[in-house]
């Protein structure tokens, strides 16, 4: 669809709200519902929807004790429970929409701050061809076996310190390459999902549930409300609106709808063609404001709230969770606002993203240092067997390498 030149003025929240306030009540209510993640319906909007409730028993005054009870509970000529029912549904769907956007924002922030592996490449001291070979083998290398073998050789004195450090850094480099590749793919998917969520509105079925009326009238009201709003906003901005621009804005307002409706179930694999029409400008102007703070609901995972889960989430936040464990945890973690809130807060508090180059170099060198035996005679008597030392070294390094199961994808929880 080709659109004509659009007004250059980006609407402000005040202009958007002024345009909505100028609409007829039915259109005003509909537009606020379509923008429910960013706007709060007013008490007048709630009352307008409550007046149209269509349940026969409600209209007959048979709810909660008959006509006398209804008469007692009336507020501004409406039964109180009608108002409460509509307001409850409004808050329910608004909370779901805002939780979805908050969850995706946390994910984007977390994955955007993901550290790169440039330092590890330079620390390996290998030429471009050798690094290219490591990158090519990163997805297939049996790192757990290689780690055990390297630890055993170091313990038995079968490898020089220089060679050990080079091989150990190569293993870490491959692990971080896979980690970076996973983060990049995840970020691309999350960006697509967030874009789809930002520009989507509630489906007709969801709107009918809130309004307590049939789906049929909703579709017609949606079309007329979007048309009226686009004209009102153009008037507020004092901008001319040609036919093509008007059609583009209306189509955007009627476009993507959240899953559960009749269109666009799920998220596509390609970026949306987001135009600069007045409706889309409205959404991005409103979305630029911070979302009100959400109180995450309790985690529904079997071990939700336990110290074990919290420890894993904190390790995930600082990129030190074993690879196989991370692959298993990720699919369910990204769907839980509670878990993501912990992960993002831990990432920010840890300072892992803002670490200086010197700090990172020190940590990498400490991790990959050649294992040395204590020379004290008293310690030799109680020294563990070589096999035990190799296992101990493996356990200490496991958070940075992981198990083979994570390299080809493990089943999610």
For residues 110 and 330, give the distance between their C-alpha atoms in angstroms, rounded to a whole number: 13
Question: 133-177, pLDDT tens digit by residue?
Answer: 666 666 655 566 777 788 888 888 888 877 887 777 777 777 777
Q: What are phi and psi of 75, to 5 degrees?
A: -125, 120
For the chain, what is the mean pLDDT? Answer: 74
Looking at residues 20-47, what average pLDDT do you find? 94
- The distance in angstroms from the start CA to the end CA of the chain is 43
31-45, 164-178, 235-249: which has the highest mean pLDDT? 31-45
166-170, 215-219, 260-264, 362-366: which has the highest mean pLDDT? 215-219
Per cent of the chain over pLDDT 70 is 66
For residues 285 and 256, give the distance between their C-alpha atoms in angstroms, rounded to a whole number: 18
Contact between 32 and 39 (Cβ < 8 Å): yes
Q: What's the pLDDT score for residue 133?
A: 66
Looking at residues 225-239, what average pLDDT do you find? 91
Q: What's the pLDDT score for residue 70?
A: 44
Looking at residues 201-227, what average pLDDT do you find? 90
**Rounded to two decimals, what is the model's pTM?**
0.67
Looking at residues 51-60, what average pLDDT do you find? 57
Residue 117 pLDDT level (bands cut at 50, 70, 90): very low
Question: 83-92, pLDDT tens digit by residue?
Answer: 899 999 999 9
14-28, 160-174, 251-265, 395-409: which has the highest mean pLDDT? 14-28
Per cent of the chain over pLDDT 90 is 17
């Amino acid at each position: 669809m080709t659109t004509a030149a659009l007004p250059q003025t980006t609407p402000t929240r005040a202009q958007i709200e002024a345009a909505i306030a100028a609409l007829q009540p039915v259109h005003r209510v509909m537009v606020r519902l379509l923008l429910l993640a960013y706007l709060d319906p007013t008490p007048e909007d709630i009352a307008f929807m409550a007046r149209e409730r269509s349940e026969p028993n409600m209209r007959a005054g048979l709810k909660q004790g008959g006509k006398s009870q209804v008469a007692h509970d009336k507020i501004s000529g409406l039964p109180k429970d009608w108002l409460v029912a509509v307001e409850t549904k409004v808050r329910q769907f608004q909370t779901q929409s805002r939780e979805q956007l908050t969850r995706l924002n946390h994910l984007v922030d977390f994955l955007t701050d993901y550290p790169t592996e440039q330092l590890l490449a330079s620390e390996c001291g290998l030429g471009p061809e050798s690094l290219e070979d490591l990158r090519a083998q990163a997805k297939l290398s049996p790192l757990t076996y290689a780690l055990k073998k390297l630890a055993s050789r170091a313990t038995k004195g079968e490898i020089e310190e220089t060679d050990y450090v080079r091989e150990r850094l190569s293993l870490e480099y491959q692990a971080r390459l896979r980690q970076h590749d996973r983060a990049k793919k995840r970020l691309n998917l999350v960006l697509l999902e967030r874009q789809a969520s930002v520009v989507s509105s509630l489906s007709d079925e969801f709107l009918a549930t809130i309004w307590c009326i049939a789906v049929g009238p909703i579709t017609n009201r949606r079309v007329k409300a979007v048309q009226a709003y686009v004209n009102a906003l153009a008037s507020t901005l004092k901008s001319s609106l040609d036919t093509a621009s008007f059609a583009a804005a209306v189509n955007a307002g009627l476009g993507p709808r959240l899953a559960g409706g009749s269109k666009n179930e799920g998220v596509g694999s390609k970026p949306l063609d987001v135009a600069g029409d007045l409706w889309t400008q409205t959404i991005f102007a409103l979305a630029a404001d911070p979302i009100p703070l959400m109180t995450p609901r309790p985690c529904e995972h079997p071990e939700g709230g336990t110290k074990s889960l919290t420890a894993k989430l904190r390790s995930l936040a600082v990129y030190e969770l074993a690879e196989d464990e991370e692959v298993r945890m990720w699919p369910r973690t990204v769907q839980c606002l509670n878990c993501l809130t912990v992960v993002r807060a831990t990432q920010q508090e840890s300072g892992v993203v803002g670490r200086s180059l010197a700090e990172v170099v020190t940590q990498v060198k400490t991790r990959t240092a050649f294992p040395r035996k204590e020379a004290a005679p008293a310690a030799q008597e109680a020294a563990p067997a070589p096999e035990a030392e190799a296992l101990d070294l493996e356990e200490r390094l496991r958070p940075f390498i992981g198990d083979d199961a994570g390299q080809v994808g493990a089943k999610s929880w």
